[in-house]
Amino acid sequence: ELLELWAAWGALAFLGCWFLYEALCVGVLWFGGLLGYALAEYWGIVHVRTLQSRWLFPRATGLLYGGILLYARSWPLGPSWLPLWCLLSTQFWLMFSLLWRFDSYAQLQETPPHQLLYRSLLLPATAISRGDARK
């Protein structure tokens, strides 16, 4: 079971690296956008912990990436550094403003929730049943 888990991780890592390489071949905007999206997904899973942040972060991130895709579609020959800079600076502003406004004053537990995420992803799967475990 552990070999299957590591093989799946290896396959996903290879697929992710290939996807990033193809995005870099298309342009710097797509490469930076994919890295920013990966950062936003990580931040949304690990650091967004209050109800206000959970409501606001996905909607604001969706609007931000939708606007960047609309810009790239409408002006394909425009400068790629401008939307990439706007995307990343706005995303960092959103992440840190939500962190300082909502999440740092919520008096949440000290242990981060990503420990549970890593524990559930890296440990081998076990059978769950309602019956007696000694059978």
Q: What is the pLDDT of residue 89?
A: 93
Q: Give every residue of the chain whose pLDDT is below 50, as ranges.
A: none
Please give the Cα distance from 123 to 12 (Å, whole number).
Answer: 17
Q: For residue 129, give both structure tokens.
A: 């049943």
Q: What tens digit of pLDDT does each residue of 58-92 get? A: 888 899 999 988 988 898 888 888 888 988 999 99
Q: How far is CA 124 from CA 11, 58, 92, in A?
A: 17, 30, 35
Q: What is the pLDDT of residue 63?
A: 92
Residue in 7, 69, 2, 75 with CA at minimum distance from that of residue 33: 69
Q: What is the pLDDT of residue 123?
A: 56
